[in-house]
C-alpha cells in the first residue's frame, strides 16, 4: 500500500512538473529571424501578425517597420491588447538589442495569455540591414551636433559654460555606472521631460553605444537648446578608452 502511494505521488509530481514546464515554455519569447517575419507579414491575414516597436516614441516615429505599433517598454496601456486576437503572432522588436521579458509590455502580453510571442532577432537594425522598407510618421530632421571623444571629456567639462550631461539610457543601464553629475532622462521620455533641462546649459548627450545620441541631440537642438554635443561611441567607448 505504501509502495502504491509512493508511486502515485511520484506520478502526480511528474505530471505537475511537466505541466509547469510546458507553461513556462509557453510564457517565453521565441526568436524569429528577419526573413521569417517578412514571410509572415507578407502572408497576412492567413498568418496574422501584431508587430510592436519597443523603442522610444522618438525613434519609432522617426523610422519603423510599416505594420508596427509604437509602444516603448517603460509605458503601460491597459487596453493595448484588447483588440488583438489571442491566435495572433505577437512580435516585439527593439533597436539592435534583443527584446526580453524584463519589458512591462511583454509581461503584459504574456500575462494576457498569448502563446505565440516572439522577439525579432537583431531588431530594427537587422531589418534595415536586409534592405526591407521602413516608414516615417514624424521624422526628426538631423542637425549637426559635434561629438566629444571620451579622452577629451575632462577638457570639455572645464571649457564648457554650465556643462550638463544628459544620459538617455534606461534607468537599469544608467544606475550601475554613469558619468558624474549626469541627469538621466531616458530617450523614451525625452519628448516629455526635456523641459527639466536648463536652457542655458551646454549639453552632452550620452547613450550606450553612440546609436541614439544623434537623434536625441537633433531633437534637443530643435527644441531650442543652442549648445548640444554628444559623446562619441557612448558609454561603451568611454569605458574602453578610460582606465
Cβ atoms of residues 105 and 76 within 8 Å:
yes
Q: What is the pLDDT of residues 5-39, one digit of tens each?
A: 544 444 434 333 433 323 333 457 899 999 999 99
Looking at the chain, which residues constitute the CATH 3.40.250.10 domain(s)?
2-129, 147-241
Rounded Cα distance, 140 and 15, in Å: 55
Spatial neighbors of 224 by CB under 8 A, at least 6 apart, are 199
Rounded Cα distance, 198 and 46, in Å: 52
Q: What is the pLDDT of residues 82-130, one digit of tens each?
A: 889 899 999 999 987 665 657 888 888 888 889 899 999 999 999 999 9
Q: Does domain 147-241 have CATH number 3.40.50.150?
A: no
Fold classification of 2-129 (topology level): Oxidized Rhodanese; domain 1 (3.40.250)
State the chain's mean pLDDT as an integer. 86
Amino acid at each position: 500500500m505504501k509502495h502504491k502511494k509512493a508511486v502515485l505521488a511520484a506520478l502526480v509530481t511528474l505530471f505537475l512538473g511537466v505541466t509547469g514546464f510546458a507553461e513556462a515554455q509557453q510564457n517565453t519569447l521565441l526568436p524569429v529571424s528577419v526573413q521569417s517575419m517578412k514571410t509572415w507579414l507578407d502572408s497576412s491575414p492567413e498568418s496574422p501578425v501584431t508587430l510592436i516597436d519597443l523603442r522610444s516614441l522618438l525613434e519609432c516615429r522617426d523610422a519603423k517597420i510599416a505594420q508596427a505599433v509604437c509602444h516603448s517598454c517603460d509605458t503601460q496601456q491597459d487596453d493595448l491588447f484588447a483588440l488583438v486576437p489571442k491566435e495572433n503572432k505577437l512580435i516585439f522588436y527593439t533597436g539592435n538589442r534583443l527584446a526580453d521579458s524584463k519589458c512591462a509590455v511583454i509581461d503584459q502580453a504574456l500575462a494576457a495569455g498569448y502563446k505565440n510571442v516572439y522577439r525579432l532577432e537583431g531588431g530594427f537594425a537587422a531589418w534595415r540591414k536586409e534592405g526591407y522598407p521602413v516608414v516615417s510618421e514624424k521624422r526628426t530632421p538631423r542637425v549637426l551636433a559635434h561629438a566629444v571623444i571620451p579622452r577629451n571629456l575632462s577638457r570639455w567639462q572645464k571649457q564648457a559654460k554650465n556643462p550638463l550631461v544628459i544620459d538617455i539610457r534606461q534607468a537599469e543601464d544608467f544606475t550601475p555606472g554613469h558619468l558624474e553629475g549626469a541627469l538621466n532622462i531616458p530617450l523614451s521620455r525625452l519628448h516629455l521631460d526635456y523641459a527639466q533641462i536648463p536652457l542655458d546649459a551646454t549639453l552632452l548627450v550620452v547613450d550606450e553605444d553612440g546609436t541614439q545620441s544623434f537623434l536625441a541631440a537633433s531633437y534637443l537642438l530643435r527644441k531650442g537648446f543652442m549648445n548640444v554635443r554628444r559623446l562619441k561611441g557612448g558609454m561603451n567607448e568611454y569605458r574602453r578608452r578610460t582606465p
